[in-house]
């Protein structure tokens, strides 16, 4: 009897979960699954890009090659409506760097380091170093003048022994706080072991910052913290970098909606990467999965009710520049009001469910996921709602657009420590993980674009403000200068 009850309950759950699905989706999703498993080009295309282009730094010759690579790939898949979306960007690239540390200002020793992006074009500082812990506002509040005229030593994440519940901030936000309190430089200690160095922007605006910012390895950093606890510490940071206005291009491919063409679902991932490695994980696995989602749509001649736009964003690593340019243009021509959903794929791998900023999308997302799970039980149809920052969904979210994507997966082959590091190479990529991203996400994309009703609405400005407050995003947005509300 118990088994019968459990079975009946499970059937009821599936019926509820599939409440917003259409009967034809079962056939369409099965075709998507078969097509991707047999013919996906995500892995092979990414392999070719890493071998023939290398890094994909925005504004560099390699960045331009990556833009053309994506454009031509979409053309080869049969897209006639594919275009470049050019935008001007203040490009940054690293030059020379020397970082020295020591307890005696007259006898400093060289430390392995890397410049954080948007550091000054030229800097040469030799000053005392002070430990600012996690680099949060609370670390400065007790002694606001402690770091003034000195160099801040800050941990990238949350230090062991921090009070329970301590939340971290982005490296750029920690740099902004240090600058606010008068620091003349910042040294950030990486969280990954093995001497791995992390790069990435130290600017909340995507423009040059006034102080030099560098990253050193965890082992070195923690040793210098111990010495600093016993006495004074000094550092000499000398660097040169390049910055100048250049042109970059998003790549946009469109499939016009069958019955509601004026409503649009945008799916994208950032094509650009940092220059220390090939960016296979960040964000090759995301952007090349989106390219293969586009290929799958064309291969199966899929045309949902709403228009679908596939976007390869450039400039994400330097401050979400490409997605900000896309949204700015959409606001200007008022097409932002047509965007019903934005799906973002940034280092997404092997998803087991879906995530969204809109709790009211749960029924739709789980309806889609129930079919995916019926096709392949490795998909768990998990659901998560919430909000975060620092990827290409952000500009859309700040204009009230519901955002989402794949969730519940994990990076392949212990790739996490190689985030923004010199070990982010193609050897870390898992082919089946990419296929899983493509097939389950293509189902999600089609389901949203073809849904009879999207309950998640486009927020008004005041509703957007309330949503951001609810998700505790006011502080980081204020630090970044992107909190546009006065009260």
**Is pLDDT of 320 > 50?**
yes
- Token readout for 384 is 């998560």
pLDDT digits (tens, 9 = 90+) for 141-150: 999 999 999 9
- Token readout for 340 is 């019903």
pLDDT on residue 12: 39
Q: Which of 8-12, 34-38, 352-356, 451-455 has the lowest mean pLDDT?
A: 8-12
Q: What pLDDT band is residue 18 in, cutting at 50, 70 and 90?
A: low
- Token readout for 286 is 């995301």
pLDDT digits (tens, 9 = 90+) for 150-166: 999 999 999 999 999 99
Full 3-state SS string of the chain = CHHHHHHHHHHHHHHHHCCCCCHHHHHHHHHHHHHHHHHCCHHHHHHHHHHHCCCCCCCCHHHHHHHHHHHHHHHHCCCCCEEEEEEEEEEEEEEEEEEEEEEECCEEEECCEEECECCCCEEEEEEEEEECCCCCHHHHHCCCCCCCCCEEEEECCCCCCCCCCCCCCCHHHHHHHHHHCCCCEEEEECCCCCCCCCCCECCCCCCCCCCCEEEECHHHHHHHHHHHHHCCEEEEEEEEEEEEEEEEEEEEEEECCCCEEEEEEEEEEECCCCCCCCCHHHHHHHHHHHHHHHHHHHHCCCCCCEEEEEEEECCCCCCCHHHHHHHHHHHHCCHHHHEEEEEECCCCCCCCEEEECCHHHHHHHHHHHHHHHHHCCCCCCEEEECCCCCCCCHHHHCCCCCEEEEECCCCCCCCHHHCCCCCCCHHHCCHHHHHHHHHHHHHHHHHHHHCCCCCCCCCCHHHHHHHHHHCCCHHHHHHCCCCCCCC
Q: What pLDDT band is residue 1 in, cutting at 50, 70 and 90?
A: very low
Average pLDDT over residues 94-123: 97
Is pTM beyond 0.75? Reply is: yes
pLDDT on residue 2: 35
pLDDT on residue 14: 47
pLDDT on residue 8: 40
Cα 16 from Cα 370, distance rounded (Å): 10
Average pLDDT over residues 442-467: 97
**Is pLDDT of 328 > 60?**
yes
pLDDT digits (tens, 9 = 90+) for 40-64: 999 999 999 999 999 999 989 999 9
- DSSP SS3 for 207: coil
pLDDT digits (tens, 9 = 90+) for 196-215: 999 999 999 888 999 999 99
**Is pLDDT of 16 > 60?**
no
Place of tokens 């049969």: 78
pLDDT digits (tens, 9 = 90+) for 177-198: 999 999 999 999 999 999 999 9
Q: What pLDDT band is residue 6 in, cutting at 50, 70 and 90?
A: very low
**Is pLDDT of 487 > 80?**
no
Q: What pLDDT band is residue 89 in, cutting at 50, 70 and 90?
A: confident
pLDDT on residue 373: 98
Question: Hey, what domains does the chain have and what are their CATH numbers?
Answer: 21-81+256-479 (3.40.630.10), 91-242 (3.50.30.30)
Average pLDDT over residues 2-10: 37
**Is pLDDT of 406 > 90?**
yes
Strand ranges, E, within 105-207: 107-110, 113-115, 122-131, 151-155, 185-189
Looking at every residue in the chain, the average pLDDT score rounds to 95
pLDDT digits (tens, 9 = 90+) for 344-365: 999 999 999 999 999 999 999 9
């Amino acid at each position: 009897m118990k088994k019968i009850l459990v079975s009946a309950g499970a059937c009821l759950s599936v019926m509820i979960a599939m409440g917003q699905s259409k009967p034809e989706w079962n056939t369409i999703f099965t075709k998507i699954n078969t097509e991707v498993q047999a013919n996906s080009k995500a892995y092979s295309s990414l392999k070719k890009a890493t071998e023939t282009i290398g890094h994909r730094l925005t504004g560099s010759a390699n960045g331009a090659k990556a833009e053309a690579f994506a454009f031509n790939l979409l053309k080869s898949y049969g897209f006639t409506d594919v275009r470049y979306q050019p935008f001007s960007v203040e490009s940054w690239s690293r030059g020379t760097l020397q970082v020295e540390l020591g307890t005696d200002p007259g006898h400093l020793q060289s430390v392995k380091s890397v410049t954080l992006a948007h550091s000054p074009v030229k800097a040469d500082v030799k000053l005392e170093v002070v430990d600012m812990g996690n680099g949060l506002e609370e670390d400065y509040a007790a002694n606001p003048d402690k770091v003034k005229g000195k160099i801040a030593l800050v941990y990238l994440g949350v230090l062991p022994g921090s009070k329970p519940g301590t939340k971290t901030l982005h490296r750029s936000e920690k740099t902004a706080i240090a600058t606010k309190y008068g620091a003349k430089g910042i040294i950030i200690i990486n969280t990954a072991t093995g001497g791995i160095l992390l790069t990435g922007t130290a600017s909340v605006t995507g423009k040059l910052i006034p102080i030099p910012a560098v990253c050193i390895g965890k082992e070195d950093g923690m040793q210098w913290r111990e010495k600093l606890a016993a006495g004074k510490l000094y550092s000499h940071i000398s660097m040169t970098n390049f910055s100048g206005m250049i042109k970059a291009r998003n790549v946009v491919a469109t499939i016009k909606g069958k019955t509601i063409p004026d409503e649009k679902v945008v799916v994208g991932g950032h094509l650009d990467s940092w220059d220390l490695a090939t960016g296979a994980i960040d964000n090759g696995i995301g952007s090349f999965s989106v390219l293969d989602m586009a290929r799958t749509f064309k291969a199966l001649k899929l045309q949902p009710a709403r228009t679908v736009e596939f976007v390869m964003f450039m400039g994400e690593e330097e401050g979400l520049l490409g997605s900000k340019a896309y949204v700015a243009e959409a606001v200007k021509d008022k097409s932002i009001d047509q965007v019903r959903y934005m799906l973002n794929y940034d280092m997404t791998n092997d998803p087991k469910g879906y995530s969204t900023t809109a709790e009211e999308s749960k029924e739709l997302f789980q309806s889609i996921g129930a079919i995916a799970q019926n096709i392949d039980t490795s998909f768990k149809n998990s659901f998560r709602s919430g909000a975060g920052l620092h990827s290409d969904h952000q500009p859309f979210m700040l204009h009230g657009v519901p955002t989402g994507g794949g969730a519940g997966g994990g990076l392949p082959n212990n790739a996490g420590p190689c985030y923004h590091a010199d070990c982010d190479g193609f050897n870390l990529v898992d082919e089946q993980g990419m296929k899983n991203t493509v097939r389950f996400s293509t189902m999600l994309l089609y389901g949203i674009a073809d849904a009879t009703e999207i309950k998640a609405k486009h927020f008004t400005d005041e509703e957007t403000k309330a949503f951001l407050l609810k998700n505790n995003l006011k502080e980081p947005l204020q630090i970044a200068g992107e909190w546009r509300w006065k009260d």
